[in-house]
């Protein structure tokens, strides 16, 4: 059976053909217009993008050791986790929470740095910092100091006078971030950032609280600038709450639990305070807190630098020759010095002596 076109529809057919020819002419004459229309669909496609959950490569319990003038830290990154697994992050130390009596608080008197960045994040208590370039100030609860050591600086981090005299609780973190070879000898720079300057993102009626220290979360960008793409988030989950954070697939990263415990990834991996989870491939990580306990974590990730690393103490360069040059420059005074060094060392020694007298030093080592 052959299907024909009724003669009464001939005029409609002519109109239809004319419209098709006209639209084809527009496509040939104005291709950019149609490209713009087609591209406008992409946001809808991205919204429907299925995130790939990152697996947990490894869970490591941080070991404890004394640093600086004698304070105890947990070291989840830089001890049992080799740099090859955490690039571009060299080290993460978790100080405390330590409760000091009057005269017991210790710090890290004068010491040099070159070739990387130190990020100090204070949760409670406070540090008084000074350096050989003349910078000085207090870092108290909620503050972040992102210091680019670059070509080199002598730095001092001591407890505030109030904490030393009256005692109190001290807790915070120090992250060491490697710099690419092209930035290792840059002029030193500080980004001292108070808590009110850092954006906070909340979800689920405040049950999920996020401080955006570096990078971004849910489209909210940090005020701190970084030399390479990095995200540094303090995430706090109230009892029974859950959250999934995007982590760009080109980033290498980890989650460190500093309070409570939680369940992570679709694998349902459990980790508790003092443990770090190394993230596998993917572009998102889910986390949840138990029904009876809050969970607080640091989510830290960034693009690996993938350059040779030569490291000795406070110097991180690309070759051993550059390390030797750093030592020579420090010994010759090229990194400068800070007035009052002997007094700071004396205060530190006195605080250690007080701890040993009160029994805190011995108790901390149990």
The alpha carbon of residue 234 and the mean position of all alpha carbons in its chain are separated, in whole angstroms, by: 8
Phi, psi of 358 (to 5 degrees): -80, -15
- pTM of the full predicted structure? 0.85
- For 116-169, the DSSP string reads EEEEEEEEESEEEEEETTS-EEEEETT-EEEEE-TT-EEEEEEE-HHHHHH-EE
Phi, psi of 180 (to 5 degrees): -60, 160
Tokens 């070509």 found at: 151
**What sections of 41-137 are H helices per DSSP?**
42-47, 83-86
> What's the pLDDT score for residue 69?
86
How far is Cα 179 from Cα 339, in angstroms, rounded to an integer? Answer: 29
Phi, psi of 42 (to 5 degrees): -60, -35
- The C-alpha torsion from 340 through 346 and 350 to 356, rounded to 10°, is 130
Each of the 366 residues of the chain gets a pLDDT tens digit; together they read 333 334 444 444 343 334 334 444 433 444 443 333 333 333 323 344 567 999 999 999 999 999 888 888 999 999 889 899 999 999 999 998 999 999 999 999 999 999 999 999 999 999 999 999 888 999 999 999 999 999 999 999 999 999 999 999 999 999 999 999 999 999 999 999 999 999 999 999 999 999 999 999 999 999 999 999 999 999 999 999 999 999 999 999 999 999 999 999 999 999 999 999 999 999 999 999 999 999 999 999 999 999 999 999 999 999 999 999 999 999 999 999 999 999 999 999 999 999 999 999 988 875
CA angle 233, 89, 337 (to 5 degrees): 105
310 forms bridges with which residues in the sheet?
A: 317
> What's the pLDDT score for residue 51?
78
> What's the pLDDT score for residue 296?
98
Crossing angle (nearest 10°) for helices 10-29 and 31-39: 90
**Residue 22 token pair:** 């006209």
Residue 40 CB neighbours (<10 A): 9
Q: b/e per residue, 72-110, with b = 16+ CB within 10 A? A: bbbbbbbbebebeebbbbbbbbbbbebebeebbbbbbbb
Neighbouring residues of 230: CB distance < 8 A, sequence distance ≥ 6 = 88, 177, 214, 215, 300, 301, 302, 303
């Amino acid at each position: 059976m052959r299907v024909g076109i009724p003669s009464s529809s001939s005029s409609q057919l002519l109109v239809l053909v004319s419209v098709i020819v006209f639209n084809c002419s527009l496509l040939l004459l104005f291709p950019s217009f149609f490209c713009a229309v087609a591209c406008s669909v992409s946001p809808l496609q991205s919204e429907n993008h299925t995130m790939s959950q990152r697996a947990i490569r490894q869970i490591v319990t941080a070991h404890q050791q004394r640093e600086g003038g004698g304070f105890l830290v947990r070291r989840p990154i830089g001890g049992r986790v080799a740099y090859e697994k955490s690039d571009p992050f060299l080290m993460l130390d978790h100080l405390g929470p330590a409760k000091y009596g009057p005269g017991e608080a210790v710090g890290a008197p004068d010491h040099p740095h070159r070739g990387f960045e130190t990020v100090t994040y204070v949760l409670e208590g406070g540090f008084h910092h000074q350096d050989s370039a003349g910078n000085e100030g207090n870092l108290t609860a909620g503050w972040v100091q992102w210091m680019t050591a670059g070509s080199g600086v002598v730095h001092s981090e001591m407890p505030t006078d109030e904490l030393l005299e009256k005692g109190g609780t001290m807790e915070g973190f120090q992250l060491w971030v490697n710099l690419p070879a092209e930035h290792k000898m840059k002029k030193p720079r500080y980004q001292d950032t108070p808590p009110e300057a850092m954006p906070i993102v909340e979800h689920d009626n405040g049950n999920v609280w996020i401080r955006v220290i570096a990078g971004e979360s849910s489209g909210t960008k940090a005020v701190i600038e970084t030399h390479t793409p990095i995200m540094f988030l303090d995430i706090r989950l109230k009892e029974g709450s859950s959250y999934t954070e995007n982590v760009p697939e080109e980033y290498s990263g980890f989650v460190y639990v500093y309070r409570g415990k939680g369940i992570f990834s679709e694998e349902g991996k459990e980790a508790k305070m003092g443990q770090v989870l190394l993230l596998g491939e993917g572009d998102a990580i889910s986390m949840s807190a138990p029904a009876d306990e809050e969970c607080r974590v640091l989510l830290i990730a960034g693009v690996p630098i993938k350059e040779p690393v030569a490291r000795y103490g406070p110097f991180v360069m690309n070759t051993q020759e550059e390390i030797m040059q750093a030592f020579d420059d420090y010994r010759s005074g090229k990194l400068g010095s800070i007035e009052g060094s002997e007094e700071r060392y004396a205060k530190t020694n006195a605080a250690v002596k007080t701890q040993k007298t009160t029994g805190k030093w011995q108790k901390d080592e149990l």
